[in-house]
Amino acid sequence: MNEILSMLYLWLKSAHLIFVIFWMAGLFMMPRFFVYHQESPVGSDEDAKWIEREGKLRKIILNPSLVIVWVVGLALAYDIGAFSQGWFHAKLLMVLALSGYHGWMIAYSKKLSRGERTMTDRKLRLVNEVPGIAAAVIVILVIIKPF
């Protein structure tokens, strides 16, 4: 198994980075969709279009990217022996938190589709900063490996 992973390492690393980019793009887009969605009247044609857009973003980009990032990322971590390194534990914690954020966004999109608007536009705009901050921390952990 290690031999196969080692032979494919650069391909897997490339795939991991590509799908991280896709996932992050979706994590940045969805809260913006929420801001615009909340401006549409419940039950309107525009509301239905936002529900459809959010569903497509979820099904085509966010969820598949999340799965691929996790599967390929764990394979890479196994291949390089990262599970014993402190920087990796911190990165793993950040990715778990980002995955929780992903789950929250999925739940909020379902609330919006039911006509529930529980957050203000301002809070949604603030929430939109979460993936950027997490990405910055993760990149520093992976590149610099501070511990």
- Nearest Cα to Cα of residue 144 among 67, 80, 90, 75: 90
Ligand-binding annotation for 37, yes or no, is no
Evaluate whether 141 touches 90 at the Cβ level (below 8 Å). yes
- Nearest Cα to Cα of residue 106 among 46, 49, 66, 48: 66
pTM value is 0.93
Which tokens go with 33? 């969709």
Ligand-binding annotation for 16, yes or no, is yes
| CA–CA–CA angle 125, 69, 90 (5° rounding) | 75
For residues 129 and 147, what is the distance between their CA atoms, to the nearest angstrom? 26
For residues 88 and 118, what is the distance between their CA atoms, to the nearest angstrom? 35
Residues 87-110 pLDDT 10s: 999 999 999 999 999 999 999 999
Residue 15 identity (one-letter amino acid) = A
pLDDT higher than threshold 80 for residue 59: yes
Give the position of tokens 């999109």: 109
Share of the chain above pLDDT 70, in %: 99
pLDDT higher than threshold 80 for residue 134: yes
Residues 60-72 pLDDT 10s: 999 999 999 999 9
Neighbour-count burial for 86-116, b at 16+ CB within 10 Å, e otherwise? ebbebbbebbeebeebbeebeebbeebbeee
What is the reported pLDDT for 88?
A: 98
